[in-house]
């Protein structure tokens, strides 16, 4: 599986990578971006199957990035997961409208992310 | 953004929700134990700290606006870094930027977890964490929580706007 992690905290990206490495989900590549704009740039140039993104980020938020992704047919098969401190019901409804498959609240236990990864791997037949 | 201050945000119930948020973050992301402290017990722990770090996150959530700051010693910050990243003692020591990033993320998660508990329905906007060193903890916010995380001191302050008689320049947690 090819995964893109978008979070302005390098520490959070490192934690997510560590959790991914502890699962038995086959991972071909992990890409990292510090905001939505960097994430979009990576999506333009790399074939990614799973997007794990924060919401509150400088330059371009996760919501803005997801809105842009939703406009393009070529990213229709991209699995989208939000990992954010903002777990409000309003934000969750907004995410559902942007084809987000799963919403993980920070702080999260590694098992939660592992289970999501397994579901996505099955969906993409990895 | 509203400038009014809701008393319910600075009462005992809000403080209890703040502690639950801190405990949740400590346990889930840092594998650490958080315990509430009284002034005397906290003072004993605080006297052992030589260098403090203050991480401040500005927040907006419907009628709530203000900032949450987490103040902790450099030694706790480094212990949290090791727990968060799984750093081996033999690995190179983290850089100052990495420690600040980690402490900022800690404050960000505490802020988000508390907001979910006190204002779960509305969308939150959190500012980028601002982290700065301090020689000593600053003046108390409108709500202050004293905590020990794995036996080391942590202060959590909620600062709401427009408090009469308070000079913004006297709030070290808000500098940055």
Per CB distance under 8 Å, which residues of A are interface residues toward B? Answer: 8-12, 14-15, 18, 56, 58, 84-91, 94, 105-109
pTM: 0.85
Nearest-CA distance from A46 to chain B in Å?
Answer: 27
The helix/strand/coil state of B38 is: coil
B79: tokens are 């212990």
Residues from chain B that touch A84, judged by Cβ atoms under 8 A, are 112
Integer angstrom CA distances of residue A86 from A9, A42, A53, A81, B113 = 15, 25, 12, 13, 8
Half-sphere exposure of residue B44, counting CA atoms within 13 Å on the CB side? 6
Residue matched to tokens 């084809």:
A99
Least confident of A33-37, B102-106, B145-149, B161-165: B161-165
Nearest-CA distance from B31 to chain A in Å?
Answer: 10
List, for residues B82-95, the tens digit of each pLDDT value.
999 888 889 999 99
B83/B27 Cα distance (integer angstroms):
10
List, for residues B15-59, the tens digit of each pLDDT value.
899 999 999 999 988 999 999 999 999 999 999 999 999 999 999
Q: Name the DSSP letter for residue A107.
A: S
Residues from chain B that touch A14, judged by Cβ atoms under 8 A, are 84-85
Question: Percent of chain B, pLDDT > 70?
Answer: 86
Residues from chain B that touch A56, judged by Cβ atoms under 8 A, are 108, 124-126
Q: Cβ separation of B84 and A11 shorter than 8 Å?
A: yes
Q: At residue A103, does pLDDT exceed 80? A: yes
ipTM of this complex? 0.82
């Amino acid at each position: 599986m090819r995964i893109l992690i978008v979070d302005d905290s390098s520490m959070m990206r490192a934690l997510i990578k560590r959790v991914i490495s502890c699962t038995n989900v086959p991972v071909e590549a992990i890409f990292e971006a510090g905001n939505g704009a960097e994430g979009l740039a990576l999506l333009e140039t790399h074939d990614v199957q799973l997007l794990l993104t924060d919401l509150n980020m400088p330059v371009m938020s996760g919501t803005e990035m997801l809105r842009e992704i939703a406009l393009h047919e070529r990213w229709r098969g991209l699995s989208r997961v939000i990992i954010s401190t903002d777990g409000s019901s309003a934000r969750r409804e907004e995410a559902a409208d942007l084809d987000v498959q799963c919403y993980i609240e920070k702080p999260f236990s590694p098992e939660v992310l592992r289970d999501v990864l397994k579901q996505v791997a099955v969906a993409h037949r990895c | 953004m509203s400038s009014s201050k809701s008393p319910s945000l600075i009462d005992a119930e809000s403080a209890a929700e703040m502690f639950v948020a801190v405990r949740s973050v400590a346990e889930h992301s840092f594998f650490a134990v958080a315990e509430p402290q009284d002034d005397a017990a906290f003072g004993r722990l605080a006297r052992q700290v030589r260098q403090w770090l203050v991480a401040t996150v500005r927040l907006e959530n419907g009628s709530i606006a203000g900032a949450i700051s987490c103040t902790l010693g450099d030694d706790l910050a480094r212990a949290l870094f090791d727990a968060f990243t799984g750093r081996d003692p033999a690995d190179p020591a983290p850089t100052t930027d990495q420690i600040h990033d980690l402490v900022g993320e800690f404050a960000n998660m505490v802020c988000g977890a508390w907001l979910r508990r006190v204002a779960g329905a509305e969308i939150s906007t959190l500012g980028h964490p601002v982290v700065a060193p301090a020689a000593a903890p600053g003046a108390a916010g409108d709500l202050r929580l004293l905590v020990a995380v794995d036996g080391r001191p942590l202060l959590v302050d909620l600062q709401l706007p427009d408090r009469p008689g308070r000079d913004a320049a006297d709030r070290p947690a808000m500098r940055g």
